[in-house]
Amino acid sequence: GGAFDPHSVKRDFPILQEQVHGKKLIWLDNAATTQKPRQVIERLSRFYEHENSNIHRAAHTLAARSTDAYEAAREKTRRFLNASSTEEIVFVRGATEGINLIAKAWGARNVKEGDEIVVTWLEHHANIVPWQQLCAQLGARLRVAPVDDSGQIILEEYEKLLNPRTRLVSLTQVSNALGTVTPAAEMTAMAHRHGAIVLVDGAQAVSHMPVDVQALDCDFYVFSGHKVFGPTGIGAVYGKKAILDQMPPWQGGGNMIADVTFEKTVYQPAPARFEAGTGNIADAVGLGAAIDYVERIGMATIAAWEHELLDYGTKGLLSVPGLRLIGTAKEKAGVLSFVIDECRTEDIGKALDREGIAVRSGHHCAQPILRRFGLEATVRPSLAFYNTFEDLDALVNALLRFQSGHGGR
């Protein structure tokens, strides 16, 4: 009794009833973005129908409602990440903006010429480019922790990169291209032993597993709401309070100030200091509803179901002649990346779309890790808790048909 039923949660997602090319949609592009349950869609409507106002400023009823809803979403986000205080949760547009905020606000004050920043080969471009830009600007050096042939970080090689010049390590918790779950807590502890601080990119982790920033002991954590069944345009930065308090703002404007004269501006403490201007109030509230939704199911339940799906999907895909899985680490979440001998990934993606199956084919904004495997692109089905064994059967059967159409053996 009480077993998780993916067919029943699927009914919470109106778009999963959609037809494409006369077939019922099978959404296996969850690493790119996740679909939204009715509970999130309705929460957005309720906000605009009953609560909409700018926050913090005016002393009227709707301002109080919207401020309460926005701050309640911050508290839900705090609880979701197990941060110790809402003062450690900054709302941003998403993981990309979060990483840029940290690179600009923290980096400007803490990185100097000759310093080093460490990333890994697994990183999404969002966790490469801002550091490359910072290093170029300040004369610092970007160093990269390598992976083995399974797509897992080689910890001994990572540790060799750490030294007294290392200011920051920025690593993904789950690779969006391969699905590798990195040993983020261990890598954080190793960085700390060398005096470096740590940013964990949780964009691909939050929808697949329970996250506990205190257990990870990372200094920063970022994620995007749209990858965890919430709206686009909202995400969060977690930062340890002592570190956020020492950081200058990165953007100036309303909301982030305590007092302004032409001579001098006094800034608010975190998080307001990092939230200049009118934020994405409605979508923050929508994110709060998404968090409530997944927490009602339970992240541990979701993780367990997705492991079953991942095992089932791996076996199914390996039954397709000529198919090669890219990313075979022992610890994986959410992603099954593959290529098929002599087939263009784009053609595979189009053939699947004709059967109603949505997957991403391409470089997944992670060119370095694909090139590590000698590839420019893979086909990437990616999972969420509303996926079923039937979805994966449909994927494998479509690939087998594609193969036979291709004269494959």
Binding site for ligand PMP (CB under 6 A): 94-96, 124, 126-127, 172, 176, 201, 203-204, 224, 365
- Minimal distance in Å, beta carbon 360 to ligand PMP? 9
Q: Catalytic site residue 365?
A: yes
Question: In terms of CB distance, is 357 or 366 closer to ligand PMP?
Answer: 366
User: How many CB atoms lie under 10 A from the CB of residue 2?
Assistant: 5
CB of 259 to ligand PMP, least distance (A): 33
CA 46 and chain centroid, separation: 27
In 3D space, the residue among 326, 401, 395 whose CA is nearest the CA of residue 364 turns out to be 326
- DSSP-derived letter for residue 382 is B
Query: What is the smallest separation between the CB atom of 371 and ligand PMP, expressed in angstroms?
Result: 17
394 with 21: CB under 8 angstroms?
no
With respect to ligand PMP, which residue has the nearer C-beta, 98 or 316? Answer: 98
Angstrom distance (rounded) from CA 112 to CA 260? 30
121 vs 402, beta carbon nearer ligand PMP: 121
Which of 135, 218, 343, 365 is catalytic? The answer is: 365
- Least gap, CB of 131 to ligand PMP (angstroms): 13
Distances (CA, A) of 375 to 7, 202, 345, 364: 36, 25, 11, 12
Closer Cβ to ligand PMP, 124 or 143, answer by number: 124
Of 13 and 223, the one with the shorter C-beta distance to ligand PMP is 223
Q: Where are the alpha helices (DSSP H) in 194-280?
A: 213-216, 241-244
Rg (CA), the chain: 22
In angstroms, give the least distance from the CB of 404 to ligand PMP: 33
What is the smallest separation between the CB atom of 225 and ligand PMP, expressed in angstroms?
8
| Pure H helices in 102-253 | 107-110, 129-138, 155-161, 184-193, 213-216, 241-244
Peptide bond into 271 cis (omega under 30): yes
Cα separations in angstroms, 215 against 219, 297, 365, 396: 11, 22, 29, 38
Cβ distance to ligand PMP smaller for residue 35 or 66: 35
Quote the DSSP letter at residue 335.
B
Spatial CB neighbours of 374, under 8 Å, sequence gap ≥ 6: none
Catalytic residues: 365
